[in-house]
A and B are shown apart, each in its own frame.
Chain A
Amino acid sequence: MAVVPQVAAQSTSEGSPSAPTARVRLAVNGVRHELDLDTRQSLLDVLREDLGLTGTKKGCNQGACGACTILLNGRRVVSCLTLAAMHDGATVETIEGLEKNGELHPLQSAFVEHDGLQCGFCTPGQIMSAVGCIAEGHAGSPDDIRFWMSGNICRCGAYPGIVAAVADAAKRV
């Protein structure tokens, strides 16, 4: 893995020159980073603002909408409600890491095929949540999918397409 050293970012929403910092090592989509971070930075802010991975979206920033869902050490979490400083040594997967060698992940293809989106803002969170949902074995039926995907809100109301996409992808992954 490549190691990308980074300096303390002063440009983040929480950054200020005098605030306490923490050294955090993260492996994000297979790339290692060493960061000096403001202790107040959420994992979401670090992904978006320090690492430039803006695929992960900031919706409510209070754990209610699921737009910021990522896999943290293999488990789906909302990255807005956890501090990056608590995850030294962690492995993170984001929407940017799903595509392999120019091939979309089966969930990405399924969302396209089943119109699992309109505006697309919630889609990265939906797809990362669905990766977790399928891995947990909670995508066995449409009812199952509706319940176990309920942490991801879609304000456009693309739910029928989302459920169809997850059900379809569950057969393929």
Chain B
Amino acid sequence: MLPFTIEKVRSVEAAIAAASSGRRLIAGGTTLIDLMRDEVEQPQQLVDINALPLSEIRVDRSDLVIGALARMADVAAHPDVQRLHPMVAESLIEGASPQLRNMASIGGNLLQRVRCPYFRMLDAACNKRSPLSGCAALGGLNAGHAILGTSDHCVATHPSDVAVTLVALDATMRVVGPKGERTFLVEELFRLPGDTPHLEHTLLPGELIVEVRVPGGPVGRRGRYLKVRDRASYEFALVSAAAALDVADGVIRGARLAVGGVGTRPWRMRAVESALIGKVPDRKVFEAAARLALEGALPLSGNRYKLELLPRTIVRAFEMTGGIA
């Protein structure tokens, strides 16, 4: 690890000023410290933002509002989260380990960096770590990589579980920066790699995530998060699905679906959602809709299995929602 200074800030204004001057913010640190140790990340000045008053979890009208510094474990265990949006809690508990969930913040979870092994290997080609150096995953080990949203420059998946659920539920995020505050969809935080995979998100210089807001409503209450992986817990997703249905009088009135483990960002599946509206929920309907998930999918040498696993995971997730009347 290279030397760095660290200071603590106690106000959002001070954090913005520090970030604007190029210093690096640190919250839970579970991604950043790991990457600094490998010298993939080399910040010279860290700013500890853990003392900021951004850990609150509250209900505003029917919306769930989660402070950016709330820890994954605390969000997952919160009674309002479990009541209003059980799939948010479920996707948090399916991620990382109990120890890491006690450490990692929601804001940091969204900004966590990819788990592609070549990104972490300083002597491997990686356009994300070292622009224009190439992508070792294209001709290398890529069983865990993406089939949607990839480019010739990067095929790494976004590793977050809860981000998949937040994208499915149209969650928004509030950020503050030197030019004031903005609110936008969590989905809009994530960039596609294109030919600039080193640019991962749409935050402007000096901007700080303040809170995430998950809209209330009947859909979220019946949502489920299904994560398929190589072992039963504490592993990243091969494929995951955040699925929710609003069924009235035996007919699907609303559907939400986003998937993880297959996209270069959390991937909303609007074509699948549309195909479900007005239908009577059953396995055949789910299977027909799930086939639309493969539109534009480009498998790599090691991950063709995801073409089969993705629609199956979607079908199972919708079945788990209890949407079958």
> Interface on A for B, CB 8 Å cutoff?
14, 16, 18-20, 22, 38-40, 42, 61-63, 66, 69, 75-78, 81-83, 85-86, 88, 129, 132-133, 136, 138, 146-152
Taking CB atoms, residues of chain A closer than 8 Å to B100 are 63, 78, 81, 151
Q: A62-B37, A66-B97 are in contact. Are A77 and B29 (CB under 8 A)?
A: no
Would you call B34 and A63 a contact (CB within 8 A)? yes
Taking CB atoms, residues of chain B closer than 8 Å to A138 are 98
Q: A18-B3, A40-B3 are in contact. Are A83 and B29 (CB under 8 A)?
A: yes
Residue of B nearest to A42 (CB): B33
Residue of A nearest to B30 (CB): A81
Residue of B nearest to A138 (CB): B98
Would you call A86 and B26 a contact (CB within 8 A)? yes
Taking CB atoms, residues of chain A closer than 8 Å to B50 are 86
Would you call A39 and B30 a contact (CB within 8 A)? no
State the CA gap A16–B6 with chains docked (Å).
16
- Per DSSP, chain B at the interface is mixed
- CB-contact partner of B5 in A16, A39, A132, under 8 A: A39
Would you call B3 and A82 a contact (CB within 8 A)? no
Q: A77-B103, A129-B99, A151-B100 are in contact. Are A63 and B30 (CB under 8 A)?
A: yes
In order of increasing CB-CB distance, the 10 nearest A-B pairs are A151-B97, A150-B233, A19-B3, A150-B234, A75-B102, A40-B1, A20-B5, A78-B99, A151-B99, A39-B6
CB distance from A149 to the nearest CB of B (A): 8
* Chain B CB within 10 Å, residue with most, of A16, A150, A152: A150
**How many pairs of residues, A versus B, come closer than 8 Å at their CB atoms?**
91
State the CA gap A150–B232 with chains docked (Å).
9
- CB-contact partner of B34 in A14, A20, A38, A81, under 8 A: A81
Taking CB atoms, residues of chain A closer than 8 Å to B29 are 81-83, 86
Would you call A14 and B48 a contact (CB within 8 A)? no
Taking CB atoms, residues of chain B closer than 8 Å to A82 are 29-30, 33, 103
Interface CB pairs A-B, < 8 A, 21: A20-B4, A20-B6, A39-B5, A40-B3, A62-B37, A63-B100, A76-B99, A76-B102, A77-B103, A78-B30, A81-B29, A81-B33, A82-B29, A82-B103, A83-B29, A85-B6, A129-B99, A136-B98, A147-B233, A150-B97, A151-B100
Would you call B98 and A61 a contact (CB within 8 A)? no
> Interface on B for A, CB 8 Å cutoff?
1, 3-6, 8, 26, 29-30, 33-34, 37, 46, 48, 50, 73, 96-100, 102-103, 232-234
Residue of A nearest to B45 (CB): A20
State the CA gap A85–B98 with chains docked (Å).
23
Taking CB atoms, residues of chain B closer than 8 Å to A78 are 30, 97, 99-100, 103
Would you call B98 and A76 a contact (CB within 8 A)? yes
CB distance from B118 to the nearest CB of A (A): 16
Would you call A151 and B3 a contact (CB within 8 A)? no
State the CA gap A22–B232 with chains docked (Å).
41
State the CA gap A40–B30 with chains docked (Å).
14
- CB-contact partner of A22 in B6, B30, B97, B233, under 8 A: B6
Would you call A129 and B98 a contact (CB within 8 A)? yes
Taking CB atoms, residues of chain A closer than 8 Å to B1 are 14, 40
Taking CB atoms, residues of chain B closer than 8 Å to A129 are 98-99
Taking CB atoms, residues of chain B closer than 8 Å to A146 are 232-233
Residue of A nearest to B26 (CB): A86
CB distance from A122 to the nearest CB of B (A): 13
State the CA gap A132–B97 with chains docked (Å).
12
Would you call A133 and B48 a contact (CB within 8 A)? no
CB distance from B272 to the nearest CB of A (A): 30
CB distance from B309 to the nearest CB of A (A): 22
Taking CB atoms, residues of chain A closer than 8 Å to B234 are 150-151
CB distance from A25 to the nearest CB of B (A): 13
Taking CB atoms, residues of chain B closer than 8 Å to A20 are 3-6
Taking CB atoms, residues of chain B closer than 8 Å to A149 are 98
Taking CB atoms, residues of chain B closer than 8 Å to A152 are 97
State the CA gap A88–B234 with chains docked (Å).
30
